[in-house]
Structure 1
């Protein structure tokens, strides 16, 4: 379906069965309190259907600030006062529990201080290590398709209308992969732009905290609250480069949707060129995996995971064998290569366009190690186009750009040089002003409360 056929004033699902969800920035101020109350009432029903919350929160009363009443959720990896995060792990019992945190994670403090209303903490894969999201939440577009990980619950909560935004983390694609799977928008910030204090660490050299939301416009509201020392210009880049070899190496439905998305960006007045970059991207995978495995093992290898999470324990064990000098060499090689790699990838372009994933979002059976149909190579391919962003510390935005042949969402990745977060969000917002892909309602939701429905723009 071409972008030109979309009418953003009349959003509906792929089968034209009804209205889509509203975004916060499109609601009149007078309607926001009603929408926030609808989210609080709707969230338990979303939890019952899709299992995306680890815990629902009591409604907060503070409604002052730039984000007054905005309903949000947080991945279950952030400290809050009196509550330790579960981090996707089975309960370890009282003997293994440390003292409850006395202060909240920095990002929770910032959102709460701006008046946002925390609806709950969302489910995640164990220690944010696994990219499919299998076993943590059900995809509201199709329960037999993975929701994406590791920020699975956050993406599902946004997609199902329980919240307008959700915090997640991204170490190798954990925001952008579930954004595609669940048909929502994701912002993976420049490395270091958003504070990580009070958040579970996986690989400190790669970890970023970011957002999932209905639209880029909503993320534009929240981003300056989270990244207080950054500026967020409202102008998109003048030039963008489509990585044509990455597009051509993708499955046919991914190619078609991402080319439609690129056409939509060109229609926003952005000069679009085509470049090759797939070999460069692929060459960054080995050093990223080495850093990820070594740092994750250093952070979590001492946990008694063998009985609780045997698959994760085996994965972490690989990192324990990486010598410190190999880790240092990998980091040094990446640091030395960053400038020439960026010049090679971007040229004169201010943004790169490529699929979030080269494959359609896979079925649960293919991604579940306990299934007879499990295919390990599929898990590897989920992050094939997202890892390089973390390896280089780049910002990226994932935006819905269509649907595959099964009616599942497809997303385009917009990547920039460090510090260009605002321009990328502006470009995503410009695209979404012309299209309705991000407003589509998941096919398994037909009865969401009317205050959450799109009212036109």
Structure 2
């Protein structure tokens, strides 16, 4: 390869001037209490600027647990005792269920490990929209979308209000905002993290995962959430770059991802290039059919017409899908899994491709109410993420540089089912050589010093 690495640790940084945000794992134990207090104090200011929270409130946590004091946020789709989630919908539903008596399983696990919940974050309605328009504002540039549907969770991490945040991913809803906001995301193997007490969108595709500053913070938290999974500490020895997916992407995406791939190769992994785009694209139709049909079955009875007409129209499409078509789509994915995995991976332990083939779009292009709206842009946001959900695979999105407008770009690392630990180890190795994940938005100059990376 002849690509040139531009190491962000040694270049002047035009994107996030001065000190970057610390990650939790890099803080000495003596500094963590100050950092947690700084997050609690800083979060209301982040809310005032970027509208990423729907509610604040500190959770009861085990002070002696392995995550003791770690400030986190949760997407507003999880039950907590006495509080029903808003799920991104305006107003109160006429058919709302009674307030839950038990918290969602993931909240119980994080709180039981000592993590400190700062609040609940904004999301797109029923997690059904990939741009995040109308919710949180992107801290890198308010003129660009924050990504959806886990919009507020990504913004809260990117702006330093928390060190990590829970989100969901049905077709890319963790990884898309990870690129838009310049943070790291883990989309787990399907079924590895419990969904009890979480809003469902499409049960055959839904996963619960994390957004954080770094992969090493996610490595600290992931075993708490996926208690039945073995998290290997070694990265895969061999990875495959899906070269046609890179070549089909916009030029700034190509440049950033190629630099990140070369940095990965410098970590000692064996790198090959192979095509994969036709196999990925062939999975889109059955995935969309399953998503639409299951979402309509889950939420078609809600009184949505007055509360969110656009969402009501989307759900109506799913109600028109006949049961036999849904069965056929699921069978098609099930039958395709083994041959598609063999074709995509070959002997490789992980795949590399962009999170998105396009740069993070401006709000005006992604907003249906705008005269500049371009519907195809919404479709392209998830073009490289939805196959992961279709096959139940784990994936990690890692910051990989910046585009020509100063917006973050992310590389996606995808593994076979159960390879979550190896993917996170590979992402951590990449981030040990680069500094893209430590960048902070340049207009955040007044954040508390306990949140700054050490030695900067």
Scaled by the length of structure 1, what TM-score is found?
A: 0.97
| 1:434 matched residue in structure 2 | 433
| 1:127 matched residue in structure 2 | 126
| 1:408 matched residue in structure 2 | 407
> 2:261 & 2:434 partners in 1: Cα distance?
12
Deviation sequence 1:73-110 (CA, Å, 0-9, x none): 000000000000000001126x5432110000000000
Decide which moves more: 54-63 or 224-233.
54-63
> 1:11 & 1:42 partners in 2: Cα distance?
29
| 1:165 matched residue in structure 2 | 164
> 1:3 & 1:112 partners in 2: Cα distance?
40
| 1:269 matched residue in structure 2 | 268
SS of 1:357 mapped into structure 2: coil
Deviation sequence 1:207-232 (CA, Å, 0-9, x none): 00000000000000000000000011
CA shift in 2, pair 1:11/1:119, >3 Å: farther
| 2:215 matched residue in structure 1 | 216
Deviation sequence 1:3-43 (CA, Å, 0-9, x none): 45332xx8985346211000000000000000000000000
| 1:24 matched residue in structure 2 | 24
SS of 2:131 mapped into structure 1: coil
> Superposed, which structure 2 residues align to 1:63-74 within 5 Å?
63-74=63-74
| 1:55 matched residue in structure 2 | 55
Conservation of the 8 A alpha-carbon contact between 2:58 and 2:116: no
> 1:67 & 1:194 partners in 2: Cα distance?
17
SS of 1:5 mapped into structure 2: coil
CA positional deviation for 1:332: 0.7
> 1:11 & 1:75 partners in 2: Cα distance?
35
CA shift in 2, pair 1:16/1:133, >3 Å: closer
> 2:377 & 2:328 partners in 1: Cα distance?
29
SS of 2:39 mapped into structure 1: helix
Deviation sequence 1:240-293 (CA, Å, 0-9, x none): 000000000000000000000100110000001000000000000000000000
| 2:188 matched residue in structure 1 | 189
| 1:83 matched residue in structure 2 | 83
> Superposed, which structure 2 residues align to 1:200-215 within 5 Å?
200-215=199-214
| 1:321 matched residue in structure 2 | 320
Pairs aligned (count): 454
> 2:16 & 2:381 partners in 1: Cα distance?
29
Decide which moves more: 16-25 or 387-396.
16-25
CA shift in 2, pair 1:15/1:417, >3 Å: closer
Are residue 41 (structure 1) and residue 41 (structure 2) matched?
Answer: yes
> 2:73 & 2:15 partners in 1: Cα distance?
29
Scaled by the length of structure 2, what TM-score is found?
A: 0.98
> 2:452 & 2:233 partners in 1: Cα distance?
27
| 1:300 matched residue in structure 2 | 299
Conservation of the 8 A alpha-carbon contact between 1:187 and 1:396: yes
> 2:441 & 2:91 partners in 1: Cα distance?
32
CA positional deviation for 1:64: 1.7
> 2:443 & 2:301 partners in 1: Cα distance?
41
Conservation of the 8 A alpha-carbon contact between 2:16 and 2:442: no
Unaligned runs of 5+ in 2: none
SS of 2:25 mapped into structure 1: helix
> Superposed, which structure 2 residues align to 1:92-131 within 5 Å?
92=92, 95-131=94-130
Deviation sequence 1:347-367 (CA, Å, 0-9, x none): 000000000000000000000
CA positional deviation for 1:446: 1.0
CA positional deviation for 1:304: 1.1
Deviation sequence 1:317-345 (CA, Å, 0-9, x none): 00001111100011011101100000000
| 2:374 matched residue in structure 1 | 375
CA shift in 2, pair 1:207/1:16, >3 Å: closer
Conservation of the 8 A alpha-carbon contact between 1:254 and 1:358: yes
Unaligned runs of 5+ in 1: none
Conservation of the 8 A alpha-carbon contact between 2:127 and 2:148: yes
Deviation sequence 1:118-174 (CA, Å, 0-9, x none): 000000000000000001100000000000000000000000000000000000000
> 2:89 & 2:400 partners in 1: Cα distance?
33
> 1:269 & 1:315 partners in 2: Cα distance?
46
CA positional deviation for 1:197: 0.1
> 2:182 & 2:449 partners in 1: Cα distance?
20
> 2:11 & 2:455 partners in 1: Cα distance?
8
SS of 1:337 mapped into structure 2: helix
CA positional deviation for 1:382: 0.1
